[in-house]
A and B are shown apart, each in its own frame.
Chain A
Amino acid sequence: MPDRAMPDWSDVPKWLLPRPTLEDREFWEGAGRGELRIQHCSSCGRYQHYARLLCSHCGKQTLAWVTASGEGTVYSFTVIRQNGVPPFDERVPFVVATVDLDEDGARLIAAMPALDPGEARIGMRVRAAFRRAGDEFGFVDFVAAG
């Protein structure tokens, strides 16, 4: 599946930079070094994103950070054609997807800047792609797999 010419999403305005909290610094730092960090629960065996103190599936406090495969499937998507907030106003149209990671129970919302909006499909296989967000952190985008 052809990706369109990668639009330049590299310029991240200061106000859009992550402001890590006690709970999610690991996620943003992981993305900065090219790893998709999520939590795994040793009680129920499921995974979750975003980071929390307790497992949202079983409620136990038995979570540990792991690096996800970065592979997933599009559960749904939309093509954003109007967004009044810079810099997104100049980026439209672009795809935003809800991605079910292969790690059961973990789902995240991600931009797919490189995907031609006409190529987006529910059920398509995708993989994580990382984009710098300042010196320490990163954003997790997705691209078509394969």
Chain B
Amino acid sequence: MQQRVCIVGVGLSDGPVTPELNGVMLEAQAFRRALDDAGLEKDDVSGLASAGYGGMHEVALAEYLGLTPRWLESSSVGGSSFEFHAMHAYRAIQNGDVDTVAIVYGNNQLSASGRTLGTGGGGGGGRGGMALPLPMAYEFPTGLTLVGAYAMAAQRHMYEYGTKPEQLASIAVQTREHAGRNPRAMYRDPITVDDVMSSKLVADPLHKLDCCVISDGGCCVIVTTEERARDLPHRPVYVRGAAGGTTHHSIAAMTDMTRTAAAVSGPRAFAEAGITPTDVDVFAMYDSFTYTVLVVLEDLGFAAKGEGGAFVTDNGGNLRLGGALPTNTDGGGLSGTHPGMRGLFLLCEATRQLRGDAGDSQVAGAEIAVAHGSGGWLSTQGTVVLGTEGA
């Protein structure tokens, strides 16, 4: 019989600016805090997942932490890697291959590299004489930037569906409201749609305030069996469904720039969990850019295709606390924390909400949460449905 699987511990490192801590120190700090949160010690951990550095990072991290895990996972699919890690850990625990997995990520991207607004290189390309992997070799000499890749997708959505830049801007405004409630968020002062629209255009139609921040930070999420979870201090949060997928690597190969692999991963994960979009109480969404949120809201079925713009602004703002779908209640990547990749932080915030531990940003009575990661250039999508025991 398959085991039910629970998140039992979450930990955040110091942040969002930590010049005194490097990436692996941030990972270790988050790991220690997640152990404390879960009421576990390191030798209780038999599986480790991480991504974001070079090959064998999770092995190096295991050594650094003094772990000898028998289950390792390093799916490296961009910012959604950690939704894939959670999905794979969920399956492995269900099947009894491993019982307690720590998923860990940390990066001091801000302190190490500074903020380039995704304009430091081509759509994922590099410079300085290294051979570029196809197809980036074609994109980089055009002057395309990472922001530009997302901008082209947003532009196509505006063309096909009449989506307005002001609707994209509203996503940033509502997310900033949540950041104002989170002392750990990078930017907390309220902003207006006009503020977003009058911030510098980086790549049409995306303005500076349509783009996520760059911060430092680390996070750890610990997943285990329901049986073990029963003995641990927190109310367990159940993994109810998970799915992922990819449609392309480079933006040129995104055949339909208004539809992502979330249109496949979402329905699969929701079906496994036995839920529909209207059952979701809180949404943790990888907001690399405002458009990322808009297109995935549609792909997951929270809004019909083409109606994402209206959805985010209806009802005084449906992403707000009190709206139809409170989204990125910790201030997201747009205003809160974004240390290179954000996927793991989504699982952390969703868990805090379902435990009732989300402080001033708590969604009252939240029972079902969705964490959804988007990686690359809308390339990879991973959906994880979480629920309380009774949900």
Contact = CB atoms under 8 A, between A and B. Distances in A.
A88 B151 CA distance: 17
Interface residues of A, number: 37
A128 interface: no
A5 interface: no
Interface stretch (A17-25, A39-47, A64-72): A17-25
A82 B141 contact: no
Contacts of B151: 78
A82 to B, nearest CB: 5
A110 B137 contact: no
Contacts of A85: 119-121, 127
A4 B132 CA distance: 31
B361 interface: no
Pick the most buried of B131, B200, B204: most chain A CB atoms within 10 A of its CB. Answer: B204
B196 to A, nearest CB: 15
Contacts of A108: 138, 252
Given A84-B119, A91-B143, A139-B141, A76 B156 contact: yes
Contacts of A78: 144, 148, 151-152, 155, 203-206
Given A76-B159, A98-B251, A88 B200 contact: no
A111 B152 CA distance: 13
Interface string B189-206: 000000000001111111
A98 B205 CA distance: 15
A21 B134 CA distance: 9
A12 B142 CA distance: 11
Given A80-B144, A88-B143, A139-B141, A50 B135 contact: yes
A56 B155 CA distance: 26
A83 B119 contact: yes
A15 B225 CA distance: 52
B320 to A, nearest CB: 29
A109 B143 contact: no
Nearest to B140: A16
A80 B205 CA distance: 10
Given A85-B120, A85-B127, A96-B143, A122 B156 contact: yes
Contact of B129 (A15, A94, A97, A117): A15
B145 interface: yes
B153 A76 contact: yes
Interface in B249-272: 250-253, 257
A24 B134 contact: yes
Contacts of B137: 18-19, 21, 24, 50
Given A24-B134, A82-B117, A117-B204, 18 more contacts: A15-B127, A15-B129, A21-B134, A50-B134, A78-B152, A78-B205, A80-B148, A81-B201, A81-B202, A82-B202, A85-B127, A96-B148, A107-B252, A111-B143, A122-B156, A122-B159, A123-B159, A139-B141
Interface of B: 116-117, 119-121, 123, 127-129, 131-132, 134-135, 137-145, 147-148, 151-153, 155-156, 159, 200-206, 250-253, 257
17 contacts: A24-B134, A76-B159, A78-B152, A81-B202, A81-B203, A82-B147, A82-B203, A83-B119, A85-B119, A85-B121, A85-B127, A98-B252, A107-B253, A109-B123, A111-B141, A111-B142, A133-B141
Q: Which 10 A-B pairs have the closest CB atoms?
A: A78-B151, A76-B156, A79-B204, A111-B142, A88-B143, A76-B152, A122-B159, A78-B203, A82-B119, A109-B252
